Copies of this chain bind each other. A is one copy, B any other.
Amino acid sequence: MNTQLLQTINELSSPTSYNRVYHEPNHGMPMPSTETMKEIVALLREIIFPGYFGVDSLDEEIIHYHTGVNVEKLYEILSEQVKRGLCFDCKMPAPTKSHCAQCEIKAQKIATAFIQELPEIRRILSTDIQAAYNGDPAAHSIGEIIFCYPTVKVLLNYRVAHALVKLNVPLLPRIISELAHSETGIDIHPEAQIGEYFCIDHGTGVVIGATSIIGNHVQIYQGVTLGAKSFPLDENGNPIKGVARHPIVEDNVIIYANATILGRITIGEGAIIGGNMWITNDVAKGEKVSQSHGI
């Protein structure tokens, strides 16, 4: 090993170099692991859609056993990751031992509460799948949609991440939604609120911002952005966090490919937004907005 390499190792190991990017959770707790979060999502797919993923055959007698084993494993690794997430976020300068023990118990309670949401998550996902089936003349069966439609992948991750957001889990929801973003090209912020029977067709390039609110039976296509127009800045010129800045999309709206909808505006119930549209103002209930300059 030559001198240059040894010297570079020293440079890279010097706090003046790594401190720019270093994050040490309180109490030396390890950080959350994106690999384990992938495992958690894979487990959730197996639990929610028995027979499709993981094991390739599950008859009725044995779903119970598999669900039991999978839920137990999920509980174990999820409570560990939640605990790490809480530590990652912990601002307390010198937490006492008993504070940390409380966090461990809190993590287990969160994992339990999350798992109790799974039957409801499965139910809502089944409405999303139904919507995808109804909306795509090329779909042959519900099973085909579960197997390979990106809308199912991304909504499973979104609905799971959103449930964790509601339980005030830091960091993990964003990791989960980015896993789906990477797989599908669809970027749904886990804090967004989305109703039932939601469907995204093709989907690549879709962006749904953190304060978006979407009703039931909404259908959107690839490249649609529900974004922010501008960020109100505070007196120091920094964006103010937590301000509602993304659209409200009411029930039964359809938004075609590559439409861009910006700001805290409302797309009224049953409205239809044509492809490539650029929308920065409210659209009335039932209105149809489309390109006039198509050829």
Contact = CB atoms under 8 A, between A and B. Distances in A.
B64 A9 contact: yes
Contacts of A101: 97
Nearest to A127: B20
A89 to B, nearest CB: 7
Interface string A133-152: 01111101111101111100
A97 B276 CA distance: 54
Grouping DSSP codes into helix (H, G, I), strand (E, B) and loop, the A interface class, with mixed when no group exceeds half, is mixed
A222 B209 CA distance: 13
Contact of A59 (B28, B61, B134): B28
A265 to B, nearest CB: 10
Interface string A267-282: 0000000011111110
Among A71, A72, A241, A279, find the residue whose CB has the most chain B CB atoms closer than 10 A: A72
A59 B200 CA distance: 43
Nearest to A74: B5
Interface residues of A, number: 130
A178 interface: yes
A171 interface: yes
A52 B65 contact: no
Contacts of A69: 62, 65-66, 69
B138 A20 contact: no
Interface in A1-22: 1-2, 4-6, 8-13, 15, 17-18, 20-22
A215 interface: no
A147 B175 contact: yes
B68 A62 contact: yes
Interface string A17-35: 1101111100011111110
Given A279-B295, A295-B283, A5 B115 contact: yes
Nearest to A13: B64
Given A191-B138, A279-B295, A21 B146 contact: yes
A168 interface: no
B63 A65 contact: no
Given A10-B64, A21-B125, A207-B222, 12 more contacts: A4-B112, A12-B71, A17-B122, A21-B49, A97-B101, A137-B228, A140-B171, A150-B178, A181-B204, A187-B222, A276-B278, A279-B294
